[in-house]
Structure 1
Amino acid sequence: MESCKGREGDEVKCVWVHGPIIVGAGPSGLAVAACLSHHGLPYVILERTDCITSLWQHRTYDRLKLHLPKHFCQLPFMPFPHHFPKYPSKNQFISYLHSYASRFNIRPRFNQSVQTAHFDAASQFWVVRTNDFQYISPWLVVATGENAEPVIPSILGIDNFHGPILHTSVYKSGSHYKNKRVLVVGCGNSGMEVSLDLCRHNASPYIVARNTVHVLPREMFGFSTFGIAMALLKWLPVKLVDKLVLVLARLMLGDTARYGVRRPKTGPIELKLITGKTPVLDVGQVAQIRSGNIKVMEGVKEITRNGAKFMDGQEKEFSAIILATGYKSNVPTWLKSRECFTEDGMPKTAFPMSWKGENGLYTVGFTRRGLLGTASDAVKIGEDIADQWMSVKDKSYRNSHMILLKST
């Protein structure tokens, strides 16, 4: 470790990393670290918080479970324990990730919030700056994922509301809202599950379904709907599989449009592949909507001091507002070499090649295909870096001090 000057001219400690720099210690970062270890390669993993998988530990509600069966959600080289249920709970998944980190001896550098990362064309190295260190490596793995920061929408009048307004990232349980009327903005999986949780704690949720959304049974005939779809896709085209899935969904759930939840014209699987928009998996929400315990509203026109005005002319009073408006990538805030990323912080190259960029840049957790996509990309990244390792290692040892001398 040596001292050198950062881009702003201040003195920082420089750390030469003989393997890749991984930014983010969530499931994506852990998966890449394990794959690199599998090939015997060193790395440094940087995490802005004080723990692994901070999103799961601190930004999820209590009743959360994995939406897909566990075998679709396991990380490379380590299945879930046999005694775990088919759909592990939040705490079981966190336990699995801690065991995963322990098994592969993954020790992130915590409280290392990345301020900037750029590719130095002269030296051909990545330079990653945190609060007090500057890390240098031939490879950079962006593992912050597509769900790094909460999305807070701009809604007319929202600053006038007298009650609490919170994003689902800080929502824990409906126990705080017993006998209260709550407005839930957003009808994706989070919005639907929070509404169900509120129902089960004797609250009165009103969910805003401004956009169309597919709602599918989590299981059909005892099998995962996702698993059935994946099996059918091996033999049938996407559009035909979508038609079959929607026929079965209608038989099991009825016509959701009757209750205010309109389906998109594009089928659920095709829509997921094109846009990344995930269908809602029903675990009891539709029954509560059908019974009137969850009330569906078309759209918010304006937030008032005591509630909201809706597009259909109705006006309701609410005790609280919960924003189930999703998350976004934070890549644009720190990655300065963004030729491979869009303005929204997503890879420009489409799946299945989105994992590899230029100049030793890799991305994981951006496939919009959940943990299954994360595991697949992590394996590819480990193999690709392993193939380059010896030639780049020799070059790196020869040139490791060049960038340090240049910076001082």
Structure 2
Amino acid sequence: MGEHVIKLPDVGEGVAEAELVEWHVKIGDLVREDAVLAAVMTDKATVEIPSPVDGEIVWLGAEIGDTVPVGSPIVRIKVAGDAPSTAEPAAESKPEAKAPEAAKASSEPAKKEEEKTPTTPKPAAATAALKPVPRATTGLPRPEGERPLASPAVRLRAREAGIDLRQVPGTGPAGRVTHEDLDAFAARGAAVVVAGLQEKTGVEEIKVIGLRRRIAEKMALAKSRIAHITYVEEVDVTALEELRAKLNASKKPDRAKLTILPFLMRALVKAVAEQPQLNAIYDDDAGIIHRHAGVHIGMAAQTPGGLMVPVVKHAEARDLWDCAAEVNRLADAAKAGTATREELTGSTITITSLGAMGGVATTPVINHPEVAIVGVNKIMIRPMWDGTQFVPRKMMNLSSSFDHRVIDGWDAAVFVQRLKALLEAPAMIFVEG
């Protein structure tokens, strides 16, 4: 038998390492060629690592959440024949430390075999040393979900007193709750818990890995390095909603349905043409602002795995329908987990929207290293004074954040007011010049 070593491949240009986010195998598994062994993530793109051979998994070189350098061994597979191994000497690896769950799984068959085979009785002293102290003699609370043992009389007394037996430590044989245990429970002044309203003490530990860790790092970086200023303005979108409804009613079957986002994208293109400092990247380490001619709009999208920001490239060259189609395509790719690294990078300004859940106002976090983000809040019908009477109008707030290190409050206000003017008179969005 030989051994085949699989190393972490180069998963992208300039990528020196990747985070292991999922194992599809464990030690002892038999795998076929092309079977998926693991998934790694870099720059919010997940890449699956397939097996190049048939064989048995004998070693896993990392745990979920570990950052693995490109070229490092991650899997060893036992194969038929005398295939040479490309891994480091086995003595230098520590599979038991890297894959505790797999090691546990591999020990279970041996344990079952041991139970079938008669063994020589151990000395009494050794047996006593290995025997755990029964919980019943310690009076410790039982694990959550375990049914308490008690006589009918004890159960009746507890029920009449409104005591949940699951909260009472039992000191009788096998952890049985006795009358004395009830007395001690009451004497300690323990809170009486009505059945069905018992306290819960369980704590679930969830390791922050993969996309969630990337999001956490990105948000922490943005908030720690960017001096945020948020400007909120209300916009009357009654005319815009009427135009949108008419365009959707007469659209061609092969065209995407228009939401408010394509209109905002086209308005944003016109606004940043007048204020190019808003369509920029700030390299705060070098102290350089990179103003971009092309408008690459990041679209913050919620996916099953967490927040992702696919990018509509060159929005300045797209019409209303093209913007809508590209937003739909990228949103579907992000939710399906098929968005490429190219589709998730390169934005120069970002739009974030929670749709109908958008609330009255938000304080968006800037997508570092950009300098501006535009937040869309939900549309609500509100009474507005037209000079003679109150009339119902469709109103929506824009909540926009800016990097106050490079964008002054006045410039931020001018930018938002320009967006407001374009959205309230949507015909102006389509006027060139």
Q: TM-score range by the shorter chain?
A: under 0.3
Query: Looking at CA atoms only, which structure, 1 or 2, has the larger radius of gyration?
Result: 2
**Higher RCO structure (Cα 8 Å, ≥6 apart):** 1
Query: What is the TM-score with the length of structure 2 in the denominator?
Result: 0.18
Higher strand share: 2
